[in-house]
Amino acid sequence: MTADHPSTPPGEPPGTAPGQPGTPAQAEHPESILLDEPSTADLRAKVTQAWQEFARSLAERLPALPEGAHVELTLDPTASGTGDAVYSIGVDVGAEGRLSARAVGNASLPDGYRLDRMAVADMIALGWSPPGVVEGSGEYFGLEGTTADANRIAALLSRTLRDVYGAPHPAFLVYLIHDAEGEPLPGAPLGTARSEFGPGRVAEADLDEALVEAVAAQTEQNDVLALEERVRTVVSTMLKSDSDRLQVDSDGDINIRAGSAMVFVRVRDNPPLVDVFSPVLTEVRPTERLYVKLSELTNRMPIGRLYCADDTVWASIPVFGRNFQPTHLMLAVQVMTGLADELDDRLHGEFGGKRFFGEGDKAVRRDEGEHRTGMYL
């Protein structure tokens, strides 16, 4: 694995660690270190904002933690598809605000998921000490600092998770914050990352319970019906509604409104697949410039794709139906509802066409008899 971004923040010499002379800790906000190039606007800007919020929340949380507290930041292997590889960072709070961080190294990673030479160099450039150098670090990269350096340390940890460990978005992170006795410490969420404690985890527990009940009620049905029922249970749990109150159209698709956009959830049987999709724009003229734009946006998306078919711009995120994972569908729905509502406005302003709930939108003019697509395929 290698980093996709420069390892050293602008104006900072490689290897500068938190708290070193000449590096003002509190004066530099964590988001300033996380800014990407202006050319990576659009979707990349939204992802960057999410990382900025995560770093800012972490920087605010660290100084407030009591002595003996522990913070664990982990790239969710289920959501990210890293299998048995667990990329994580642990931070311990000591006396007088001392912070001791440990980041997983190659000794703890399976073959195929170990950091290559460039990634290891990136770790050192960010400020980590090689495994075993910091006392007590053992097989982990080590970092020492204080809560006075919270801004810089939060940015460093965020860049490690993003640039070296490959987390595409903070939503792929799971975090745990507890005291010396292992009891959870209350506090504001770390951006879009998911807490091992709190409402997010309770929602997943409720979802597991709801799925057990749904599966028990469908024991005599075939796999397709079982998958369809599971999907309905996941979506209704996310929307805090009963499954029989979901909006379902004549095609059997679940309808979810997201601002000026509409998101559909469709279960396919061959092969078993759940498609989370949205007609971002309809009645839009397909041009080379539009195709180039959609290709660029797709390349910047952590998951899913954008494409144009029959004068309609579609956004789609597929979820495997075989060995169905509810958390994968939850992530797909969360990403799609935000993506569709954001993109339809941007693309409409640049290419015209009609948004699903765009009152007053005008379609491109066409010759009589020329094919035109409505809201649905």
| Residue 167 identity (one-letter amino acid) | A
pLDDT at 25 over 80: no
Q: Which of 55-69, 73-87, 175-189, 204-218 has the lowest mean pLDDT?
A: 204-218
Tokens standing for 374? 């409505």
CB 260 within 8 A of CB 358: yes
Q: Residue 212: its pLDDT value, please?
A: 55
Range with the poorest average pLDDT among 40-49, 61-70, 153-162, 262-271: 40-49
AA identity, residue 349: G
Judge whether 50 and 192 are in contact, CB under 8 Å.
Answer: yes
pLDDT at 266 over 90: yes
**Most distant pair of Cα atoms in the chain: their distance:** 77
- Domains of the chain are 41-201 (no CATH), 227-351 (3.30.1460.10)
In this model, does residue 106 exceed pLDDT 70? yes
Q: Give residue 130's pLDDT.
A: 95
Cβ atoms of 354 and 281 within 8 Å: the answer is: yes
Angle 244-249-254 (CA atoms, 0-180°, nearest 5)? Answer: 60
- If you search the block for the tokens 């987390």, which residue do you land on? 167
| pLDDT range class, residue 82, cuts 50, 70, 90 | low
| Average pLDDT along the chain | 78
CA distance 120 to 1: 9
Q: Provide the whole-model pTM.
A: 0.51
Query: Whose CA is closest to 153, among 163, 144, 162?
Result: 144
Q: 118-140 burial string, b = 16+ CB within 10 Å, else e?
A: ebbbbbebbbbbebeebeebeeb
Q: Are strands 88-93 and 254-258 parallel, antiparallel or unpaired?
A: unpaired
**pLDDT computed for residue 280 by the predictor:** 92
CB 114 within 8 A of CB 155: no
Structure tokens at 264: 């559909």
Closest CA to 224 of 146, 321, 81: 321
Whether pLDDT at 259 is above 70: yes
